[in-house]
Amino acid sequence: MRYHNITKDDMLNGDGLRVVLWVAGCSHGCKDCQNPITWDPQGGLPFTEEEKKEIFQELDKAYISGITFSGGDPLHPANIREVTALAREIRQRYPEKTIWLYTGYLWKEIVDLEIVNYLDVVVDGKFISAQKDITLPWRGSSNQKVIDVPSTLKEGKIVLQEE
């Protein structure tokens, strides 16, 4: 897996103060994407134990609410295995922290992936420029859903995260 950035004390990509891992690799090609530099799965830098340690140092801070996986697309074939392993380890080490994930895939396309068992919130769907709405919290276009993953898995139908 490769990544472009690790953002600290982020307030824009999920609830509370967060650490954000921006991975490389996305095949959705959304028009007017805010991060087209992250599309190339060979772009950015290799994600190593040093970067994982950096993320854990941030998550050790009591005031950090959790981690957000973004990019690129964390569920791109170049990322899914390592992002899943990292989410699993974070869930085990920091059960009180929340894990958010942004993806261009729809919930129905990812519901059976192992990673959903470790997530608290998924923001799903491609960014659609014609549906852009800057007033919406945590997403860029009105087609995207902010999904409460544990409630959705329990109910068997999509439950939206309260804003």
pLDDT tens profile 105-139: 999 999 999 999 999 999 999 999 999 999 999 99
The whole-number pLDDT of residue 163 equals 64
- The region, left, alpha or beta by phi > 0 then psi within -120 to 50, assigned to residue 74 is alpha
Q: Interior CA angle at 72 toward 33 and 108, to 5°? A: 95
Confidence of residue 35 (pLDDT cuts 50, 70, 90): confident
Q: Is there a contact between 116 and 153 (Cβ–Cβ < 8 Å)? A: yes
pLDDT tens profile 54-99: 999 999 999 999 999 999 999 999 999 999 999 999 999 999 999 9
The whole-number pLDDT of residue 162 equals 74
